[in-house]
């Protein structure tokens, strides 16, 4: 069964770090809130927070953080920075891996992304990939009307 689309609910701290206590949705919401607030935070702190939650395999592909920051600011991922509203739908949650559809809106523009997460050996959920998707690629019921 598909997860329910919800508004962001997690408390935000720019110093948040991966922890076994954080569930899949909380990890995605923390990253999203950091990215949403990044334009108003010093030193790209929101992007740096998202990078802290990147899995070691993801960091090997996208890091170091000095390379990650311009990638997030590129046209593919820039809609994640300073967005107005977001919906999160956990569509697959297994003991070792999860998939989350994220819809972000800024003004009249909507962008969608698929977050792919894995549970690390310490029990913390971390992001393996964030892939832009088209609305027709999202499972039914995961985007708002």
For residue 101, cis peptide bond before it (omega within 30 degrees of 0): no
Q: Is 144 part of any domain?
A: no
The CATH number linked to 84 is 3.10.450.100
User: b/e string for 75-91 if b means 16 or more Cβ within 10 A?
Assistant: eebebbbebeebbbbbb
Give mean pLDDT, residues 32-56: 96
Q: Is 53 part of any domain?
A: yes
**Would you place residue 16 in the very low, low, confident or very high pLDDT band (cuts 50, 70, 90)?**
confident
- Report the phi/psi class of residue 123: left, alpha or beta, with left for phi > 0 and alpha for psi in -120 to 50: left
Q: Is 4 part of any domain?
A: no
pLDDT of residue 2: 40
pLDDT of residue 141: 66
Give the domain extent around 90.
24-137
pLDDT of residue 7: 46
Give mean pLDDT, residues 75-89: 95
Q: Is 109 part of any domain?
A: yes
pLDDT of residue 8: 46
* Residue whose pair of structure tokens reads 């690629």 in the numeric block: 137
3-class SS string, the chain: CCCCCECCCCCCCCCCCCCCCCCHHHHHHHHHHHHHHHHHCHHHHHHHHHHHCECHHHHHHHCCHHHHHHHHCCCCCHHHCCCCEEEEEEEEECCCEEEEEEEEEECCEEEEEEEEEEECCCCCEEEEEEEEECHHHCCCCCCCC
- pLDDT tens readout for residues 96-131: 899 999 999 999 999 999 999 999 999 999 999 999
Q: Is 3 part of any domain?
A: no
Q: How many domains does the chain have?
A: 1
Q: Is 111 part of any domain?
A: yes
pLDDT of residue 11: 64
The tally of CA atoms less than 13 A away on the side-chain side of residue 69 is 11
pLDDT of residue 135: 80
**Would you place residue 138 in the very low, low, confident or very high pLDDT band (cuts 50, 70, 90)?**
confident
Q: Is 15 part of any domain?
A: no
Give mean pLDDT, residues 83-99: 91
* Residue whose pair of structure tokens reads 């991922």 in the numeric block: 77
Lowest mean pLDDT among 8-12, 24-28, 42-46: 8-12
pLDDT of residue 93: 80
């Amino acid at each position: 069964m598909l997860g329910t689309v919800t508004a962001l609910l997690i408390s935000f701290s720019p110093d948040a770090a991966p922890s076994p206590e954080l569930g899949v949705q909380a990890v995605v919401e923390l990253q999203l809130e950091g990215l949403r607030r990044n334009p108003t935070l010093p030193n790209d702190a929101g992007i740096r927070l998202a990078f802290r939650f990147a899995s070691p395999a993801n960091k090997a592909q996208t890091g170091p953080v000095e390379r990650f920051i311009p990638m997030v600011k590129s046209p593919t991922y820039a809609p994640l920075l300073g967005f107005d509203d977001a919906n999160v739908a956990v569509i697959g949650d297994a003991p070792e891996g999860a998939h989350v559809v994220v819809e972000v809106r800024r003004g009249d523009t909507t962008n969608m992304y698929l977050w792919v997460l894995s549970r690390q050996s310490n029990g913390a959920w971390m992001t393996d990939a964030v892939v832009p998707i088209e609305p027709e690629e999202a499972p039914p019921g995961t985007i708002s009307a």
